[in-house]
Structure formats: C-alpha cells, structure tokens
Amino acid sequence: MDLAEKVRQAVQKATRGKVKDYDPVEQMAICAVSKSVPLGLRITCHKEVAEYIYAKKRSHVVTGEDGGPLEVRMRLVDRLLQVIEPKQIEAKAEEKK
C-alpha cells in the first residue's frame, strides 16, 4: 500500500467514512483558491500544489575543459570547409588572371 492510500484510509477513519475519495492535492488546491483561508496559507497551498503539477527547474552550468569556455566543433562543417575553401581560393585565383 502506497503512502497516498494510507493517507486516504486515515482520513476515512478519522471522519468515520464521511469523506470518500480523499485527494490531498485536490484539497490543497481548493484551499489555495478559497477566500475564507488566510492569504499566507493560500500562498503555501499554491506552492505545495505547484510541486505536484510542474517539474522543478534547475539551472545547469556547462563549461569546457578545466571549467573554461565551451568549445563547440561541428565535424561536418569542418569537413565541408576543407573541401569548399580550397575551391574558393582556386576560383578567386582564376578570376585574377
């Protein structure tokens, strides 16, 4: 039995079965938008519910060798330049003649 099921059973036992299909995230969402709940508690509910709805975002630092700048090399581009540049140089030399 997972934790969510244990919580549901505990709520049903505590309320003598008056509450069916208890979902704590749903209840927090209800509290988050209820005008009768103090603002501080509503904000806390919003933060808690957001953790179940959205994945946490983390920053990532990408560095090159020994923490230096990142060097990006594209082999296909390098290879194409090896083929194209000599031809361009030859073409320019021919134009000058």
pLDDT (tens digit per residue) in 9-43: 777 777 776 767 778 788 888 889 999 988 998 99
Q: d(Cα 38, Cα 45) in Å, to the nearest integer?
A: 11
Percent of the chain with pLDDT over 90: 8
Phi, psi (rounded to 5 degrees) for 72: -110, 125
CB 49 within 8 A of CB 28: yes
* Among 62, 61, 58, 34, residue whose Cα is nearest residue 46: 34
Question: How confident is residue 97, by pLDDT bands cut at 50, 70 and 90?
Answer: low
* Structure-model confidence comparison of residues 97 and 10, the more confident one: 10
Alpha-carbon span 52 to 45, nearest angstrom: 11
